[in-house]
Homo-oligomer: A and B are copies of this chain.
C-alpha cells in the first residue's frame, strides 16, 4: 500500500502541483498559470481542482498531507504575505486555513529554500540524516538548515539566510545593502564577476559588451570543459564558499551540506576545489566528518518534492 502526498510549488510564472508517492516518485502533475489569478478564492479553487483531478486520475482516495513551497510565505501563519512581488494576488493568502477546510488534511506552507532542505531530507541524499544544510546557488543564495530532523525557522520565522553571511568585511556590495556577503562571490552574478576579474588578471579583459552579455551558464559550461579562466572563476567561487560552509559547520555540525541550483551544473569544476577549500577551512573537530555533495533530487522534480516533503515532516 502506498501513501500519497501533494506538493505544490508556487512561482511567479507557474504553479506546479504534484501527486507524490512515499518513495519520492512524482506520480502525476498539474500546472496552473499563476498570473491568471487575481483573487485568492479563484486561485485556491483552481489548486483544489488540480489536486482532485490528480487523485481521480490515479485512483487515490486519500492523501496524507499537502505541502506548499511559496515565495514570501510565513510558515508560522501558513500564509503568503500581502504584497508579494511576483504574484498578481496582492492580498494575504491564508493557504493553510483555506486548503485545510477543503481537504481536511494538514497543510504546511514554507519558502522555496526551506522546501529544498525538506526535499533533500525526505526524498534526496539526506534520507536518514538528522542534521544537514542545503545551499541553493542562483540569482541569490538560499539555504535551509535541518537540526535534529526539523527545519530551523528561528524566533523570527526567517532563519537560514546563509547567503548573507559576511565572508569579507568591506567586501563586494550586496543587493541587501551590506558588503561582503557570500552571495556576492558565489551567486550566479558573483561567479560572473569572478570570471571578469580572472579574465582581467589573465591579461584578457572583457569588453563592456562582453561583460554585459556574460551569463553564469556560459561560465559553468566553459569551466566544465576545462577553460582555464572559467575554472579560475569557479576556483575563486569555491574559495569563498569553502569559508562560508566551514563557518556554517561550526554552527550545527551537520552530516552533509548539499548544493543545488544552476551554477552547480559546472560539476567537478566547482565541487573539486570546493571540497578542498572546505576541508582547509574546517575546524579540526569536524575534519573528514562533514561531506559536501551535490543534491540528489532530480532538478525537474526538486521543487515539487521539496513542497511535498514540507507536509511530510511538519505534519
Pair B251/A285 contact, Cβ less than 8 Å: no
Does A34 belong to the interface (CB within 8 Å)?
A: no
> What residues on B are CB-neighbors of A131 within 8 Å?
154-155, 159
Smallest CB gap from A153: residue in B: B253
Total copies of this chain within the assembly: 2
In contact, B155 and A130 (Cβ under 8 angstroms)? yes
By beta carbon, the residue of chain B nearest A174 is: B283
Q: Is A161 an interface position by the 8 A CB rule? A: yes
Docked Cα-Cα span, A286 to B164, in Å, equals 12
Q: Which stretch in A16-24, A48-56, A197-205, A241-249 binds the other chain? A: A241-249
| Known contacts A156-B289, A169-B243; 12 further A-B pairs (Cβ under 8 A) | A152-B251, A152-B253, A155-B253, A155-B289, A156-B285, A158-B285, A158-B286, A161-B250, A161-B283, A164-B283, A165-B250, A166-B167
28 contacts between A and B (CB under 8 A): A131-B154, A131-B155, A131-B159, A145-B252, A147-B148, A148-B150, A148-B152, A154-B254, A155-B254, A157-B253, A158-B285, A159-B251, A159-B253, A160-B250, A161-B285, A162-B251, A164-B250, A164-B283, A165-B250, A166-B167, A166-B243, A166-B246, A166-B281, A167-B169, A168-B169, A169-B243, A176-B284, A248-B251
Which 9 pairs, one residue from A and one from B, show the smallest C-beta to C-beta distance? A154-B253, A159-B253, A155-B255, A131-B155, A161-B250, A156-B253, A164-B283, A165-B247, A158-B285
